[in-house]
Amino acid sequence: MRMTLVAIVLLTVSESFGQTPSQERIQQVLGKKIAEIQEFACHPSIVDAVRLQNDRQMALSEIKDLDKQWTSTRELTAHKRALQEGKAGRLLTLKIHKNRAIYNEGFATDNQGANVLACPPTSDYWQGDETKWQAAYNGGAGKTYVGPVTLDESTGVNAVQISVPILDHGKTIGVLIMGVRLTYVELKAIQAEGPSGAKPTSG
């Protein structure tokens, strides 16, 4: 049976720092970050970029062909670079670069799971066959999904992927996925807990 996210974080924090914050503190850190990512997913530039790609109505066969081209090389191709350009691409790239201690990656998809934005380039182009996308898109109903702690192939960082629906007037049109570094969750949870597990005092 796979360990729960909180249990994995608790174990890793204990091994790394010799101090174990409470589940409540870890959940508070993740909860705050989830809220921030949900707000970012509502940015007009991101919504517009996803809506524009949806309007193209790409066939799944075309998406899979693009996925093959994407995964055939680790080079920064023109296609990969294009997903970091434009208004929304620059917005996401700036978000990642300004918050390197928090995020290791970020990418947005359309309503079929094809990348619209990606910084840095993801290991593959099509996310539609992956749990993180399927759970968050939720058949078009939209739902926030927090994945397990994993070692991200494209960045080599232990992170938690948080997937949130991208909404356009209440309708789910895509998914935004942000990788939150485990080191950030660890540090913030310990800081909130205080020394030796003591609760921080106000003032």
Q: Map out the domains of the chain as residue ranges.
A: 44-184
| pLDDT > 70? residue 3 | no
CA dihedral 123, 98, 6, 133 (to 10 degrees): -40
For residue 146, what pLDDT band results from cuts at 50, 70 and 90? very high
The separation between CA 142 and the C-alpha centre of its own chain, rounded to angstroms, equals: 15
The predicted-structure confidence for 155-185, as pLDDT tens digits, reads as follows 778 889 999 999 999 999 999 999 999 889 8
For residue 13, what pLDDT band results from cuts at 50, 70 and 90? very low
For residue 1, what pLDDT band results from cuts at 50, 70 and 90? very low
The predicted-structure confidence for 112-132, as pLDDT tens digits, reads as follows 999 999 999 999 999 999 999
Is the CATH number of domain 44-184 3.40.50.300?
no
Q: Are 162 and 33 in contact (CB under 8 A)?
A: yes
| pLDDT > 60? residue 76 | yes
Distance CA 187, CA 201 (A): 18
| pLDDT > 80? residue 109 | yes
- Rounded mean pLDDT, 22-34: 83
Q: If you search the block for the tokens 């524009």, which residue do you land on? A: 52
For residue 200, what pLDDT band results from cuts at 50, 70 and 90? very low
What pTM was computed for the model?
A: 0.86
